[in-house]
Amino acid sequence: MNYTFLPNTDIKVSKVCLGTMTFGEQNSESDAHSQLDFAVEKGVNFIDTAEMYPIAAREATLGATERYIGSWLKKSGKRDDLVVATKIAGPNRGMGYIRNPLDFSKRNIHEAVNLSLKNLQTDYIDLYQMHWPERVMNMFGQRGVSKIDTQWKENFFEVLSIYDGLIKEGKIKHIGVSNENPYGVMKFISESEKHNLPRIVTIQNPFSLLNRLYEIGLSEIGLRENVGLLAYSPLAFSFLTGKHLNGIQPTSRLGLFPQFTRYSNENCFKATKLYKELAESNGMTLTQMALAFVNQQDFVTATIVGATTMEQLQENIAAFDTILSPKVISDINKIQELIPNPAP
């Protein structure tokens, strides 16, 4: 296992981060504990979750993922050996059952942090992330912003001030953003520098062979400002395993939750077929090539991998031993030029 540091911190993290959003929906508590045991045995020390998990989000299972992780942390006694990241849900997602209103007010942030601490059975959170911005903007299924949210009032300073208090209390160590755009990242950075407030250290956004939109704007910010990408969906909801090329598998996440359509359009099928042919012609599985590609990007701090079976998790973690040659990278880029970012 290779390791790095969360940018601008002394927190050492594995390049593989265990994603957990299936815990409590597709995976039982026993499954979750087995995955955590295996990942830690393989050297993974970085775990990512969120208050709204598991996915698909619903009121009946709210918080189950954090609770499963919490029961394992208590049982294993490994809390201080691990880096635990979680997230507060933002508004605009029809999740009023979490809190109403869903915003980043002081009351809501404190409530969310305290509930996550309780669920995780820990005294502190290493990385606390805003799951998506307060303002309405492009995220899933959209490629750009054509209208701005005139109802939202800028509050970057106020939000950072709230996190400053929580860091001083010892409840969280560092902060990050997720599903964010260049505008939000730079505003958070400029406000933190201007007022000596906590600086965001990570951006958790999608990045894969089917979605390289991070490279447009955010990658330069990340590299120049030393903010690391926590790349999620590196296998595009399992699409980049190639198993859906002959039709969506009914027991998969895409089969069980057909509302997640971003990876199943015609161009995703076309691009995935080309990537699979490229991988196999170079003696690799598509899974190996897809994960190795993400891992080799300079702007990636860690790649978040999840699984519903132990076999999948074993394959995913093992894929990080794969190193892609410059020729393979060049051939990948040719496919990207032919079918750019088919999954917005």
Predicted TM-score (pTM) of the model is 0.94
Using the predicted structure, report yes or no on whether residue 171 has a pLDDT greater than 80.
Answer: yes
Confidence of residue 256 (pLDDT cuts 50, 70, 90): low
Q: What is the pLDDT of residue 220?
A: 98
Query: Residue for token digits 């598991």?
Result: 54
Could you give the residue numbers annotated as active site?
53
**Average pLDDT along the chain:** 94
Confidence of residue 138 (pLDDT cuts 50, 70, 90): low
% of residues, the chain, pLDDT over 70: 95
pLDDT digit string, tens, across residues 22-75: 999 999 999 999 999 999 999 999 999 999 999 988 999 999 999 999 999 999
The third-level CATH classification (topology) of the domain covering 3-238+298-322 is TIM Barrel (3.20.20)
- Cβ–Cβ under 8 Å, residues 202 and 129: yes
Using the predicted structure, report yes or no on whether residue 255 has a pLDDT greater than 70.
Answer: no
User: How far apart (Å, rounded) are the C-alpha atoms in residues 155 and 158?
Assistant: 5
User: How far apart (Å, rounded) are the C-alpha atoms in residues 134 and 194?
Assistant: 21
E strands, 172-299, in order: 172-178, 200-206, 228-232
Confidence of residue 246 (pLDDT cuts 50, 70, 90): confident
Any idea where the domains of the chain sit in the sequence? 3-238+298-322
Q: How far is CA 201 from CA 2, 14, 127, 301, in A?
A: 19, 16, 9, 10
Q: What is the pLDDT of residue 105?
A: 96
Mean of the pLDDT values across residues 176-201? 97
- Cβ–Cβ under 8 Å, residues 95 and 102: yes
Residues written for the chain: 344
Q: What is the pLDDT of residue 145?
A: 79
DSSP 270-339: HHHHHHHHHHHHTT--HHHHHHHHHHT-TTEEEEEE--SSHHHHHHHHHGGG----HHHHHHHHHHHHHS
